[in-house]
Structure 1
Amino acid sequence: MLNVFRRNPRAATIEALYGAIVAQARSPVFYLAYGIPDTVNGRLDALMLHLAMAFERLSQGDEDAKAVGQEVFDRFCLDMDDHLREDGISDMKVPKQVRGVAAAFFGRHGAYISALRAGDEAALKTAISRNVFEGVDAPSVPRLAGYMQATMAMLDRQDPAVIATGKIVWPDPGPFGQT
């Protein structure tokens, strides 16, 4: 009856995992070397890109891993809700805005993951150009595509059950496609 007072036993795990995803997405190399715009939208795209890959890997695990993936996504939505409120969006508009962000996430997830799973580098580059660089074929698109391919391969080698405990390993984004 009083479930609102019951603490989520995985709360610390969800915070740790979401924190690791955010930390990777905020790595300065993405903005300095990859050319992702260091703007609210650019940072959101970098976050969604990483969240999509982690979410995909968790979705391949057992029911517990899938539940953690859902809780991490819920944490992302809560984070977006908090940011929108901090930006002065009215209480009446926040839910609609969060639904829009969630829809954008699932659109990106579908585009990135289908391209990564199919090994379709052209489709991946198109998705990156469209989403991260607002339709511009930026010079760093191939570098970001290479990073995403290596990241998904690295995540595929990690057990979803281990990731579900809050332990995720990301590659160093620095060396991909450097000339």
Structure 2
Amino acid sequence: MPLASLFRRRPFEAEAFRLYGAAVAAARDPAWYARLGVPDTLDGRFDMISVFVFLLIDRARTDPDPRGSDLAQALFDAMFADMDQNLRELGVGDLSVGKKVKTMWEAFNGRARAYAAAIESPDRGALAEALARNVWRTEAVPEAAHRLAKAVRREAEHLGRQDFKALAAGRVSFLGAERALGQE
């Protein structure tokens, strides 16, 4: 029954869209833009969404629960289904959408690898450097990148304390910019 498989729900599809929605809401917090000077542009918003989706994917894929990789994949799929839809709503032509989504996927993949390596690095400045390159598009590391790096680490720790069962059910909480930055 190959046709039936087209209509079957993939594992964690609905839950991943809820988690993705929470990541987008966290990324849109005005304090990131007002307090840190994150560029309030399409690129700046994509970069902040990428940070929060990365945090969720990293949390899911590193969980000892064997379903973690399925949840991580579903989050990735939800993000790029939304990016595809947003490009179409912005009026990007059908023939260009696939190329643009591929470019966005490559950008996200590069960021995710850089953030994962930076978080694992013993160099405490590595995450700020990666954020400076991606969020502010600069090799110089502004003070705001150090502040964002601390906030990202706090968000990662906060996610690490959340039960995988809640994440698998599509429930997550983020500290939010004011709390994550306010702990400075």
Equivalent in the alignment of 2:42: 40
1:70-112 deviations in Å (ceiling 9; x for gaps) = 1111010111111111222221221121111111111111111
Give distance in 1, aligned partners of 2:175 and 2:183: 15
Q: Residue type of the partner of 2:95?
A: M
Task: Summarize the alignment of residues 145-156 of structure 1 with structure 2, pairs less than 5 Å apart.
Answer: 145-156=149-160
Equivalent in the alignment of 1:123: 126
- 2:78 pairs with 1:75: yes
Q: Residue type of the partner of 1:26?
A: R
Q: Residue type of the partner of 2:36?
A: Y
Q: Residue type of the partner of 2:77?
A: D
The DSSP-based 3-state class of the residue aligned with 2:95 is coil
Greater helix proportion: 2
Moved more, 148-157 or 35-44: 148-157
Give distance in 2, aligned partners of 1:26 and 1:109: 19
TM-score for the superposition, normalised by structure 2: 0.88
Task: Summarize the alignment of residues 1-179 of structure 1 with structure 2, pairs less than 5 Å apart.
Answer: 1=1, 2-8=4-10, 10-61=12-63, 62-135=65-138, 137-175=141-179, 176=181
TM-score for the superposition, normalised by structure 1: 0.90
Give distance in 1, aligned partners of 2:38 and 2:130: 14
Moved more, 58-67 or 18-27: 58-67
Q: Residue type of the partner of 1:79?
A: D
Give distance in 2, aligned partners of 1:42 and 1:66: 28
Identical aligned residues as a percent: 36
| Structure 2 residues not aligned, in runs of 5+ | none
Structure 1 residue 8: Cα displacement:
4.5
Give distance in 1, aligned partners of 2:154 and 2:128: 14
Q: Residue type of the partner of 1:133?
A: W
Q: Residue type of the partner of 1:131?
A: N
RMSD: 1.9
Give distance in 2, aligned partners of 1:65 and 1:178: 30
The DSSP-based 3-state class of the residue aligned with 1:170 is coil
| Structure 1 residues not aligned, in runs of 5+ | none
Moved more, 22-31 or 133-142: 133-142
Give distance in 1, aligned partners of 2:120 and 2:163: 17
Q: Do the aligned partners of residues 114 and 9 (structure 1) sit closer, same or farther apart at CA in structure 2, a change above 3 Å counting?
A: closer
Give distance in 2, aligned partners of 1:22 and 1:39: 14
Give distance in 2, aligned partners of 1:154 and 1:105: 22
